[in-house]
């Protein structure tokens, strides 16, 4: 109950920042529209809507990390978190309170991107639903990135790291904007050691109905999500006690 | 009845001793001011008494609950208004108060009653729907103290409550604090002499982690053979031997 109270507060803090809504929901949809316009004029297979939407959805999730990281960093910076540490809230209340509100937001963000994709010609079928579900581990992973960044860095640095570095990493190494096979070599190797391209490929496999190809990619994402979340929780707890 | 009793309370950070063998006794209903320059150990003392950090050695009992063996019991008896204005920025005044009441386990009905009471007491009713970040510095401090009092604490910690406020906001806050005198035990840290003189029943002078002297304003002036609290503070804070 206490965790829920705290989670509701965190939801309000995030949703009441107009920039969050503009970046989190508006920006991925704008990118989707722009790339679809390019596709309409110069047909490129990569920018076909069923190829494009998983990449856009994963790219959009990077903003969820920024929301989560900024909120925690701000709470630390303003001593709000210190005030809460003197209350009967427990460590698990904080972690649940900071992570739970982000999951429905991430799902909502994905769904809005997919709804925009429907208007651009994405077929409405069961595969689309599976494709959305497949992105949930990626959403948890990005929430973990935010928790980790917010626990370590101040507000400005979280903005730089999550807002710039992570979004760029996601954009460049996910295969959302260009075919990683075309670059090949070490670049492709590095990209497939990271989770972003796997998240996109798993979702693309789902949308194309190639269910057998989902799990090999999804395991990478699930693995990263678990590891990042565990590290984030350990660092959060450790960093908070040292901040005090 | 004794509200706070510390026994050789000590906190060391690596090579630095922030608080050195503090022995202090504060009566229930007393307003006790901890006076000292920056780095004297006031905030570290408050952090130990509010269970934010553990002492290196020694102990303290707050209404009979040890900060070491029963921090949960301590947390239920106290509340804190931290040095920085620790409010939830995007929540309204009313929502900030509700948040704290709910975290302490108040049900909806009790929360509504307490929120109304606090908003009346602290003249916050007119701004109840305003977001905390839009309030003036003085109003934010007032909200911060209201958030600390909504849980009916037995002991209230005010860590430099008027730091950075203009003269008028400071005086308004003094009026608020004066109204609380006698009702609950208040520990106030400040480095403003006039604030300690105007508000406190007794003053403790801290310097370099040690409690150099305690007493009423007149007792401190008598001990130091000085005519003002400022002179007494300078004399006692710079004195080598510890005198209680």
Q: What is the rounded average pLDDT of the residues B88-112?
A: 94
Helix (H) or strand (E) holding B122: none
Residues in chain A: 244
Predicted ipTM of the assembly = 0.82
DSSP B126: G
Residues in chain B: 244
Q: Starting at the edge strand that comes first in sequence, how are the strands of the sheet with B65-66 ordered?
A: B16-27, B2-13, B57-62, B65-66
Extract the tokens encoding A97. 């309170």
Segments in chain A below pLDDT 50: 243-244
Asked if A5 and B99 come within 8 Å (Cβ–Cβ), the reply is: yes
Asked if B88 and A80 come within 8 Å (Cβ–Cβ), the reply is: yes
Give the pLDDT confidence of A200-211 residue by residue, as tens digits: 999 999 999 999
Residues 6+ apart with CB under 8 A from B123: B142
Per-domain boundaries in chain A: 2-243
DSSP B52: S
**Is this structure's pTM higher than 0.90?**
no
* Coil, strand or helix at B58: strand
- The percentage of chain B sitting over the pLDDT mark of 70, rounded to a whole number, equals 98
- CA–chain centroid gap for B107, Å, is 27
Give the pLDDT confidence of B58-85 residue by residue, as tens digits: 999 999 999 999 998 998 889 988 877 7
Is some CB atom of chain B closer than 8 A to the CB atom of A238? no
Distance from CA of A37 to the nearest CA of B (A): 37
Helix (H) or strand (E) holding B239: none
pLDDT for B127 equals 95
Smallest Cβ distance to A78: which of B75, B84, B102? B84
Extract the tokens encoding A70. 């900024």
Contacts of B141 in chain A (CB under 8 A): none
Q: What is the rounded average pLDDT of the residues B148-160?
A: 90
Contacts of A16 in chain B (CB under 8 A): 90, 131
């Amino acid at each position: 109950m206490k965790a829920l109270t705290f989670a509701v507060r965190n939801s309000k803090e995030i949703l009441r920042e107009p920039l969050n809504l503009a970046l989190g929901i508006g920006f991925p949809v704008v990118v989707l529209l722009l790339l679809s316009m390019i596709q309409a004029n110069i047909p490129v297979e990569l920018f076909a809507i069923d190829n494009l939407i998983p990449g856009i959805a994963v790219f959009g999730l990077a903003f969820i990390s920024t929301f989560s990281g900024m909120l925690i960093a701000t709470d630390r910076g303003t001593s709000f978190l210190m005030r809460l540490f003197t209350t009967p809230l427990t460590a698990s209340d904080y972690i649940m309170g900071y992570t739970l509100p982000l999951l429905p937001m991430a799902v909502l963000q994905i769904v809005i991107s997919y709804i925009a994709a429907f208007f651009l010609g994405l077929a409405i079928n069961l595969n689309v639903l599976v494709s959305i579900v497949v992105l949930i581990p990626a959403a948890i992973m990005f929430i973990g990135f935010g928790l980790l960044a917010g626990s370590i860095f101040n507000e400005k640095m979280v903005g730089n790291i999550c807002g710039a570095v992570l979004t760029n990493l996601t954009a460049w190494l996910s295969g959302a904007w260009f075919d990683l096979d075309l670059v090949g070599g070490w670049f492709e190797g590095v990209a497939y050691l990271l989770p972003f391209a796997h998240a996109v490929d798993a979702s693309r496999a789902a949308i194309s109905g190639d269910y057998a190809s989902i799990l090999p990619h999804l395991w990478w994402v699930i693995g990263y999500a678990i590891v990042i979340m565990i590290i984030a929780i350990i660092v959060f707890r450790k960093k908070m006690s040292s901040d005090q | 009845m004794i509200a706070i009793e510390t026994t050789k309370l000590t906190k060391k950070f690596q090579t630095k001793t922030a608080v050195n063998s503090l022995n202090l006794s504060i009566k229930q209903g007393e307003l006790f001011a901890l006076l000292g320059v920056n780095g004297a150990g006031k905030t570290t003392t408050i952090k130990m008494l509010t269970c934010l950090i553990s002492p290196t050695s020694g102990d303290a009992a707050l209404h009979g609950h040890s900060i070491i063996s029963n921090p949960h019991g301590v947390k239920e008896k106290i509340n804190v208004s931290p040095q920085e204005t620790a409010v939830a920025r995007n929540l309204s005044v009313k929502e900030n108060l509700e948040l704290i009441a709910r975290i302490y386990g108040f049900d909806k009905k009790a929360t509504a009653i307490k929120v109304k009471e606090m908003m009346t007491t602290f003249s916050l009713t007119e701004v109840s729907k305003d977001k905390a970040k839009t309030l003036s510095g003085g109003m934010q401090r007032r909200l911060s103290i209201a958030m600390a009092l909504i849980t009916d604490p037995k002991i209230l910690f005010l860590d430099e409550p008027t730091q950075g406020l203009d003269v008028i906001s400071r005086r308004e806050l003094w009026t608020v604090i004066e109204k609380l005198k006698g009702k609950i035990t208040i520990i106030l840290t400040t480095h403003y002499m006039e604030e300690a003189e105007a508000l406190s029943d007794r003053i403790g002078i801290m310097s370099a982690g040690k409690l150099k002297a305690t007493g009423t304003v007149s007792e401190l002036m008598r001990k130091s053979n000085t005519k003002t609290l400022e002179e007494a503070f300078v004399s006692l804070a710079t004195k080598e031997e510890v005198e209680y």
